[in-house]
Structure 1
Amino acid sequence: MLVVVCPQPDGTVVVQDVDRAQPGLPVVATETVEVEELPALVRAREAAASPTGTAPDAGLRWVWADTAATYPALLDADVRVDRCWDLRLCRTILRGSALTARTPYASAPRSAWDEARTAAAPEGLFDLTPPVALDPLRELRDQQRALTAAVGEDGRPESSRLWLLLAAESAGALVAAEMTFAGVPWDVVEHDRLLSELLGPRPAPGFRPALLEAKAAQVSAALGVGEINPDSPVELLRSMRLAGLPATSTRSWELQQIDHPAIAPLLEYKKMSRLMTANGWHWLDTWVAGGRFRPVYVPGGVVTGRWASDGGGALQLPHQVRSAVRADPGWVLVVADAAQLEPRILAAMSGDEAMATAGQAADMYEGMVATGAVATRQQAKFGMLGAMYGGTQGESGRMLPRITRAFPQALALVEAAARAGEQGEIVSTWLGRSSPLPSAEWRSAHSAAGAEGGSAAEQEAVRSQARSWGRFTRNFVVQGTAAEWALCWMALLRLRLRALSETVTGGPHLAFFLHDEIMVHTPAELADQVVEMVQETAHEAGRILFEGSPVEFRLTTAVVTAYSDAK
């Protein structure tokens, strides 16, 4: 059963039961409640639904405009849901997918549904009424029609594969809201100790900490042109030129090429300053409260389907502060990351038997060595990086011919994606998320170059742009499919963990996610059970996406009290 949540301008909410097994999705029951009554209704409906299962199409599914606007207030009322259909996230995928490109839904003009709403009302209050009236039921029906009409390049129906992507994306939105609600366990005292050790004691507002100030003075002394402010790129570059340094920018990679006594302390200063800016005391005061860091995740925030962060910098959590991520007393952190995820994804997508054999090893790069493709693990790693990211220089470029000979089907897949990108065409992930078209300026330049020829310099500029876009599409198909696997992994794990606790934070729960790594905060006595669930759901995610593939999705797992001990 689908249950559609339809906020009304008068502050009430119409809840409509929709029979998803019938054509046209007919409404079979309607109930209107005050917005404050919605949590109680959701709790009762969830309790009355069939027992929780892990099948993608099992149980009750809530349909609403935006999980980020609706679910946090339900969580504040101690209400959880098993499944949802996030209309905005699904719309973005359906409007951009090559599988639905020929449907009226994809070609329709933009509407209020395309204007993202990404946050709930403050203090957990419900504010479901959108600034422009929306009709969730109509949007759901439009999406279902587009989904039913989804076809691949060969004309074969692709609705089941695309449906899995939409369900996984919606599950990811639930995971994101629950992780923000639960927070990452954070030791403020340990964080302050780390900062004091690395930067000096906490300074007064507007001043640098002592060690950072001393490092700035060291840079000034080494340059010998008077006191400078290393935080000002303009002033720093001017001072370096006055000192006779051949610097054209203040980027670290360029500074590393210069031989001068000021460079080492300057690079150290830049590293210390980044820590101060990204995760210093101001960050600590802003983002950590009650022993929890609560970042704001944005599912599907990157075109490949990877997540982004809308606050707190969760996706750039530096190793320097990870010892501050500490489990509560009596609890532990189960940290798991997928070993060589993208190469395994490529092996499964391409059906390359030799690479699939390598993918059965605990360390896929060692598995590639065992096939005789390359001599060392490092060669295998560099070769695969070249294959997936289009690297043609250095060790990656040198190993690429060997990788191509050993795994021809896998390399053919990414090469085809690269060629499509160079021609300005769309490519798609395994489940059907499609890449954007290059910009209008890009297409215009390539069209003009093809029609008029242009100068040699102009032709080379066009070819360079084409190669660059080709590198993007080359990696898009692999990175995007890896993101789909991770979504399925988290969706399955979330439901398994839910069975262990009546509330989100009362038992084992997902606390952190970073592309191919997850963290579960769990009572210590359940750690072994959680590790087993983490591993089982990783394998199940692989089976769901690549049924019959021999590729195994291996994990490295650690049970620790501090995140820094997981590596």
Structure 2
Amino acid sequence: MQPVIVPEPDGSVRVDGRRVALGELPSVVVAAGASARWTWDDTNRWYPGLLAAGVRVERAYDLRLGHRILRGSALASWPEPGDAPPGPWDTLPPAPLTSTPDQPAMLFAAPGVDDSAPGPDPVAELAVQDAVVAASLAAAGRLRLLLAAESAGALAAVEMYHAGLPWLADVHDAVLTETLGPRPRLGERPARLEELAHLIRAALDAPASLNPDSPRDLLRAIERAGVGARSLRKWELEQLDHPVVEPLLEYKSLYRLLTANGWAWLEAWVRDGRFRSEYVVGGVVTGRWASSGGGALQLPKSVRRAVVADPGWSFVIADAAQLEPRVLAAMAGDEVMAAAGRGPDGRGADMYAGIVASGAVPTRELAKVGMLGAMYGGTTGSSGQVLPRLAKAFPRSLAFVDDAARAGERGEVVTTHLGRSSPLPGATWHETQAGAYQDDAGDDDVAKARSYARSWGRFTRNFVVQGTAAEWALCWLASIRRRLWALGPSPSVSDDGPVPAPFAARPHLVFFVHDEIVVHTPADLADAVAAEVQAAAAEAGRLLFGDFPVQFPLSVAIAPSYADAK
């Protein structure tokens, strides 16, 4: 059963040809049962209202997300040429869940959505997408899995926004006060930053007017003082022996905390004991998620002390160990590297240690640096020295990413395991390449073209690995979501507590970032949740790579606070 929701100009909707008032939609969804796969233009537009009514959707298909994948996939034959002008589905933005934390989303329509204006036809678009997938022949199964996983991710993203990440504002305030000093008056620096600013000026023999918050002014002062730094990057400053380095590095770290997660962030994003950030599914070109508010993908360790489970509840925190190199081994069909990933004990807890045990390199640090260089295009320093040894030990894996890099250098498209394709390089890239072949091209033109080509090759080299790792994570997330619901509610937790319906008394996802998840669960179900999270990782591996012998081990912790798991 695949009912399609079609919005009508009068504010009602059609569901499989039947007109339904918006207020009746939750009961219609419940009546359809868990086996229905709901199809709509945008999950962000419809699912928040259903959750607000206490209704969970088991399966859905997001046409906006599906269109974007299929339109750009080299495995799919879209009926329109690639250079055709963008249509309504190409330009359809994701509906915002809220414009600010103080303005909650409208029921079934996000702020700014004009339901009176005719929109693109979901029924016609579904038919087109089904036909495109069917025509992809051998790739159809992979594309269907990718589309299903992307849509399941969209459901999970809205559910995490709805449930929120438990957050104690008083603990957060205490962390800030302990680290920065008491909250300053508007326009003033916290005490610790002011102390560091004085130390920086003294070390540089700079006037009291020097503002450490101004990179331009700070670099000028550093140059005048003969420090020897050409930038304010941490790795460059750490190489220098100068009195300004220590206070400057501390200032930069604390300034990031203040601006990214300080008192203003706390007031803006934490409401009623919950932090709710709006995830953007597939917001990065590789398929990784982004965030449109609150910086959910970059929560520093110092503020994680404020992430505390509700009374009677706990967190299950899990992250995948060395996900990208394991994905690379599976994509390349490299059984030798997969065996290194399983390790001497067969459990595969540390792939880098397994690479050392294989004899490829002498230390874990070199194994890590070398693998990162292989996947991200590092050819200098320790990475460049180790790569030949890794290429000899794992030729299939290294050849796989090298091929992807060479395709990028030629300006070609590369594709992830399930079918998400990289974009083509832009006009500037093509103009630079063409300029190198002109009769009057000089050495600088040739060098510039070569540099541009190699830069795009580094992008495509990593695209295939990072994008496929994102696909594994989506399948993992979808499996966890399904398994958590199947566990049911806990009899030991009240269903009228702070957790909103339909997740009251049930374990539920509250945080996701690339290869890490956090589940908020009744404490008596924590062990069962941990087991299901582990099983979901194995299931994700089978969905993508069948019976290829690659393992995806997790680091799993059960803790009352997010900080306790690290």
Q: Normalization by structure 2: what TM-score?
A: 0.92
Distance 1:94 1:261 in 2: 55
Question: Measured at CA, do residues 499 and 459 of structure 1 come closer, stay the same or move farther in structure 2, by a change above 3 Å?
Answer: same
Contact 1:334–1:531 under 8 Å retained in 2: yes
Among 268, 287, 297, the residue aligned to 1:315: 297
- 1:534 counterpart residue number: 533
- 1:147 counterpart residue number: 133
Among 381, 400, 417, the residue aligned to 1:394: 381
Among 391, 407, 427, the residue aligned to 1:420: 407
Alignment of 1:224-263 (within 5 A): 224-227=205-208, 228-263=210-245
Q: Does 1:112 align with 2:94?
A: no
Contact 2:71–2:78 under 8 Å retained in 1: no
Question: In the TM superposition, what is the alpha-carbon distance from 1:34 to its structure 2 partner?
Answer: 1.2
Question: Measured at CA, do residues 101 and 445 of structure 1 come closer, stay the same or move farther in structure 2, by a change above 3 Å?
Answer: farther
Q: Look up the equivalent residue of 2:503 and give its one-letter code.
A: V
Contact 1:101–1:107 under 8 Å retained in 2: no
Contact 2:304–2:562 under 8 Å retained in 1: yes
Question: Measured at CA, do residues 439 and 505 of structure 1 come closer, stay the same or move farther in structure 2, by a change above 3 Å?
Answer: farther
Q: Look up the equivalent residue of 1:204 and give its one-letter code.
A: R
- 1:562 counterpart residue number: 561
Distance 1:365 1:258 in 2: 30
- 2:331 counterpart residue number: 349
Distance 2:78 2:156 in 1: 32
Distance 1:250 1:379 in 2: 27
- 2:419 counterpart residue number: 432
- 1:302 counterpart residue number: 284
- 2:60 counterpart residue number: 84
Q: Compare 434-443 and 210-219 and name the one that shifted more.
A: 210-219
Among 330, 355, 379, the residue aligned to 2:312: 330
Structure 2 unmatched ranges of 5 or more: 343-347, 490-501
Distance 1:329 1:7 in 2: 42
Question: Measured at CA, do residues 108 and 237 of structure 1 come closer, stay the same or move farther in structure 2, by a change above 3 Å?
Answer: closer
Distance 1:61 1:105 in 2: 30
Question: In the TM superposition, what is the alpha-carbon distance from 1:461 to its structure 2 partner?
Answer: 1.1
Q: Normalization by structure 1: what TM-score?
A: 0.91
Q: Look up the equivalent residue of 1:215 and give its one-letter code.
A: L
Alignment of 1:162-173 (within 5 A): 162-173=143-154
- 1:477 counterpart residue number: 464
After superposition, what is the alpha-carbon deviation per residue over 1:261-281, rounded to whole angstroms, capped at 9, x for unaligned? Answer: 223212211111110000000
Distance 1:221 1:117 in 2: 50
Q: Look up the equivalent residue of 1:380 and give its one-letter code.
A: A
Distance 1:448 1:221 in 2: 50
Contact 1:354–1:371 under 8 Å retained in 2: no
Contact 1:390–1:471 under 8 Å retained in 2: yes
Q: Look up the equivalent residue of 2:302 and give its one-letter code.
A: Q
Q: Secondary structure at the match of 1:231?
A: coil
- 1:44 counterpart residue number: 31
After superposition, what is the alpha-carbon deviation per residue over 1:198-230, rounded to whole angstroms, capped at 9, x for unaligned? Answer: 100111222111111111122222222321211
Q: Does 1:370 align with 2:357?
A: yes
Q: Compare 365-374 and 89-98 and name the one that shifted more.
A: 365-374
Q: Compare 410-419 and 233-242 and name the one that shifted more.
A: 233-242
Contact 2:377–2:461 under 8 Å retained in 1: yes
Q: Does 1:510 align with 2:509?
A: yes
- 1:4 counterpart residue number: 4
Contact 1:326–1:562 under 8 Å retained in 2: yes
Distance 1:403 1:251 in 2: 30
Q: Look up the equivalent residue of 1:126 and give its one-letter code.
A: L
Q: Secondary structure at the match of 1:162?
A: helix
RMSD between superposed Cα atoms in Å: 1.7
Q: Look up the equivalent residue of 2:382 and give its one-letter code.
A: E
Contact 1:105–1:142 under 8 Å retained in 2: no
Contact 2:77–2:135 under 8 Å retained in 1: no
Question: Measured at CA, do residues 171 and 412 of structure 1 come closer, stay the same or move farther in structure 2, by a change above 3 Å?
Answer: same
Question: Measured at CA, do residues 291 and 160 of structure 1 come closer, stay the same or move farther in structure 2, by a change above 3 Å?
Answer: same
Question: In the TM superposition, what is the alpha-carbon distance from 1:126 to its structure 2 partner?
Answer: 2.6
Question: Measured at CA, do residues 220 and 37 of structure 1 come closer, stay the same or move farther in structure 2, by a change above 3 Å?
Answer: same
Q: Compare 389-398 and 525-534 and name the one that shifted more.
A: 389-398
After superposition, what is the alpha-carbon deviation per residue over 1:463-514, rounded to whole angstroms, capped at 9, x for unaligned? Answer: 1111111011001001000000000001011011112346224310011111
Alignment of 1:16-55 (within 5 A): 16=16, 30-46=17-33, 49=34
Distance 1:536 1:398 in 2: 38
Structure 1 unmatched ranges of 5 or more: 17-29, 50-58, 152-156
Q: Compare 236-245 and 380-389 and name the one that shifted more.
A: 236-245
Q: What is the percentage of aligned positions where both structures have the same residue?
A: 57
Q: Secondary structure at the match of 1:99?
A: coil
Q: Does 1:207 align with 2:188?
A: yes
Q: Secondary structure at the match of 2:20?
A: strand
Distance 1:177 1:105 in 2: 33
Q: Compare 224-233 and 461-470 and name the one that shifted more.
A: 224-233
Distance 1:355 1:246 in 2: 42
- 1:75 counterpart residue number: 51
Contact 1:225–1:242 under 8 Å retained in 2: no
Distance 2:148 2:84 in 1: 23
Distance 1:182 1:407 in 2: 44
Q: Compare 138-147 and 534-543 and name the one that shifted more.
A: 138-147
Q: Secondary structure at the match of 2:487?
A: coil
Q: Secondary structure at the match of 1:450?
A: coil
Q: Look up the equivalent residue of 1:160 and give its one-letter code.
A: G
Contact 1:100–1:106 under 8 Å retained in 2: no
Q: Look up the equivalent residue of 2:9 and give its one-letter code.
A: P
Contact 2:341–2:354 under 8 Å retained in 1: yes
Question: Measured at CA, do residues 241 and 124 of structure 1 come closer, stay the same or move farther in structure 2, by a change above 3 Å?
Answer: closer
Question: In the TM superposition, what is the alpha-carbon distance from 1:125 to its structure 2 partner?
Answer: 2.2
After superposition, what is the alpha-carbon deviation per residue over 1:35-71, rounded to whole angstroms, capped at 9, x for unaligned? Answer: 122122112223xx4xxxxxxxxx3111111111211
Q: Look up the equivalent residue of 1:140 and give its one-letter code.
A: L
Among 136, 144, 165, the residue aligned to 1:184: 165
Distance 2:318 2:428 in 1: 43
Question: In the TM superposition, what is the alpha-carbon distance from 1:120 to its structure 2 partner?
Answer: 3.8
After superposition, what is the alpha-carbon deviation per residue over 1:298-327, rounded to whole angstroms, capped at 9, x for unaligned? Answer: 010000000000000011111111111111
Contact 2:70–2:78 under 8 Å retained in 1: no
Among 178, 189, 195, the residue aligned to 2:176: 195
Question: Measured at CA, do residues 263 and 306 of structure 1 come closer, stay the same or move farther in structure 2, by a change above 3 Å?
Answer: same
Contact 2:505–2:522 under 8 Å retained in 1: no
Contact 1:164–1:431 under 8 Å retained in 2: yes
Q: Look up the equivalent residue of 1:143 and give its one-letter code.
A: Q
Q: Look up the equivalent residue of 2:256 and give its one-letter code.
A: R
Among 149, 156, 160, the residue aligned to 1:175: 156
Contact 2:97–2:278 under 8 Å retained in 1: no
Distance 2:237 2:261 in 1: 24
Q: Compare 391-400 and 517-526 and name the one that shifted more.
A: 391-400
Question: Measured at CA, do residues 353 and 251 of structure 1 come closer, stay the same or move farther in structure 2, by a change above 3 Å?
Answer: closer
Distance 2:438 2:212 in 1: 49
Question: Measured at CA, do residues 373 and 260 of structure 1 come closer, stay the same or move farther in structure 2, by a change above 3 Å?
Answer: closer
